[in-house]
Structure 1
Amino acid sequence: MSTVEQAHTSELVSRDGTRVAVYRWDPVGVPHGVVQIAHGMGEHARRYAQTAAALNAAGFVVYANDHRGHGATAGDPSRFGAFGEDGWNRLVGDIGALVETVREAHPGLPVVLLGHSMGSLATQQYLLDHSGRVDAAVLSGSTALDQLAAAIDLDQPLELAGFNAAFEPARTESDWLSRDEAVVDAYVADPACGFGTDIPSSKLMFGSGTQLADPQRLAGIRSDLPLYVVAGDQDPINAGLALLNLLVERYRAAGLTEVTVATYEGGRHEILNETNRAEVVADLVAWLDRVLGAR
């Protein structure tokens, strides 16, 4: 993996005036594509610097933003996990606004939207109405949200430690993220990581699961959208791949013809931060080169 470069930082001002922190990592030489990353819950975009470095080495410019209630966009730790009024839909809107910013900054280059975990759920929602604005999409650590919601008490704040149950007795409450202890320890030590969402934000996010499962809404996604679904088979949010398989079945039933699934034995939730991450990213880059090279 190439040397990690310092990200260029900027801001995107949303329609409601929220100042969204944006990061950009540039490759050496002329890029042949752009990957925009939507990060997960209880973390921030700068955690993707290593993934960005690998994608830079493959010739991609990489963008990512800190979501509402996260990282520099939240600003103060007291606001971590709180999306604000209609915050989930506005979070999805921020992703769309960054897509448009990226397209304007890099005319002619293919744009790929890569969402991880919560970011993959936001990506699922974005694609319902805007699949024509991206050239490909990647869902990492994703799930069928409506089915996951059925197992969660939405009248309580969402605590991420609850996903660690399958790994108890565990070294930390975050062992569910990766088999790489250094990754887990860095996450635990990071004051901008490890939180869940408040009750209003959780209800908005999980409430979107109904439309994500609606065949009529899914039929609005363009059928030729290249979609890459990647996960570890030990990721607790996909229930032993059962919910991941359901998600894929729904896309295929909706008419998507270019759906590729990559699963990794023993992999946990953060497949891009797993012990075999070099293999995971190499497979992703090979897929990107294949589907974008044909466009």
Structure 2
Amino acid sequence: MRPSTITYPPEGVNPIGIIQFVHGMCEKRQRYEETMNYFNQKGFICAIADMQGHGENILTTDDLGYFENGYQGLIDDVYEFTMFLKREYPGLPLIIIGHSMGSLIVRAYLKKHSREVNAAVISGSPSYNPFAKFGKILIRFIALFRGWRYRSPFIEHLVNDPFEKPFEKEGIVNAWLSTDRNVVEQYNRDPLCGVPFTLNGYYALMNLMQQVYSKTGWTSKNSSLPVMFISGGDDPCRISDKAFKKAVTHFKHCGYPNTYYNLYPDMRHELFNEKNRTEVFEDILKFFEIKAGIEVD
């Protein structure tokens, strides 16, 4: 099993559910410790694993941003971890929360495995980018000459510059992640965070984008599954409010009518690392109670 962390409610508190987190690109599972602790205090067992090519799930730093089994391997790993958690903690409802690239993985996962979970939260959702198809062609062309482990500054700029541009005046790279400068500085100092993807990694990202926004392949639907999309109102990953709401509508049309959304004005990409993140946590708890029927004390 991949390197993982599982945390528990305080001693003497009976667990009311399991939350499986799927982190985003270019980060690691330890960045979710505070978020997991919050939900532990509310009675949830929380679990997260480093995805392939991230955190401690590497042999050397050259493996960062490289996926041995492509995008499908990411989906399969999430499913394997889900089944492990359900075996270890039987009888408890399981909620899956995916952030950023993790939100793409979770939606691709739900195309076939939605009956395995009781609710889903989609955080920092990348809206559809028509560049994905052309991007794959471009990446394959570069890989012919440089190989799939090559880290292309050109592809990196194509993917990331639209996120950086709105916040250039703040004078710090990755300002788009959070309004909390301390969070951004810690991220920038971490040698396991922010490392550009290999061509292989960006190709997997483009594949995930196409999979999620395709209208085909949505099998084994759990049409009653409650799903909540959340995004910062200043998150460039959403592209625009219109594009974000279009992503929500697309998911509904793919067979999940119980899909809701919440936009948070003045917040950026990492809602769980925003200054007023407690507001987001409280809304997620309300979603669990009202839509998933999980009573929280």
TM norm structure 1: 0.87
| Deviation, structure 1 residue 87 | 2.5
Change over 3 Å in CA distance of 1:46–1:151 after alignment to 2: farther
**Is 2:120 the counterpart of 1:137?**
yes
| Deviation, structure 1 residue 145 | 4.1
Change over 3 Å in CA distance of 1:69–1:202 after alignment to 2: same
**Is 2:46 the counterpart of 1:48?**
no
Distance 1:267 1:50 in 2: 18
Q: Determine if contact 2:135/2:206 at 8 Å carries over to the other structure.
A: no
Distance 2:248 2:270 in 1: 19
Question: What secondary structure does 1:71 align onto?
Answer: coil
Distance 2:199 2:16 in 1: 42
Percent of residue pairs identical: 30
Distance 1:37 1:294 in 2: 18
**Is 2:18 the counterpart of 1:34?**
yes
Q: Determine if contact 2:54/2:64 at 8 Å carries over to the other structure.
A: yes
Q: CA RMSD in A?
A: 2.0
Distance 2:276 2:17 in 1: 24
- The aligned residue for residue 190 of structure 2 is 190
Structure 2's unaligned 5+ residue stretches are 140-151
**Is 2:223 the counterpart of 1:251?**
no
Question: What secondary structure does 2:169 align onto?
Answer: coil
Given residue 72 of structure 1, which amino acid in structure 2 is its aligned partner? E
Change over 3 Å in CA distance of 1:290–1:148 after alignment to 2: farther
Question: What secondary structure does 1:275 align onto?
Answer: coil
Distance 1:118 1:194 in 2: 13
Distance 1:187 1:233 in 2: 21
Question: What secondary structure does 2:80 align onto?
Answer: helix
| Deviation, structure 1 residue 190 | 1.2
**Is 2:52 the counterpart of 1:68?**
yes
Change over 3 Å in CA distance of 1:252–1:37 after alignment to 2: same
- The aligned residue for residue 88 of structure 2 is 105
**Is 2:6 the counterpart of 1:24?**
yes
| Deviation, structure 1 residue 294 | 6.2
Change over 3 Å in CA distance of 1:149–1:235 after alignment to 2: farther
Q: How many residues align?
A: 276
Given residue 156 of structure 2, which amino acid in structure 1 is its aligned partner? L
- The aligned residue for residue 175 of structure 1 is 175
- The aligned residue for residue 277 of structure 1 is 277
Given residue 250 of structure 1, which amino acid in structure 2 is its aligned partner? H
| Deviation, structure 1 residue 146 | 4.6
| Deviation, structure 1 residue 148 | 6.0
Q: Determine if contact 1:68/1:87 at 8 Å carries over to the other structure.
A: no
Deviations 1:65-96 (A, max 9, x none): 00111001114222111112x32211111111
**Range with greater deviation from structure 2 (111-120 or 238-247):** 238-247
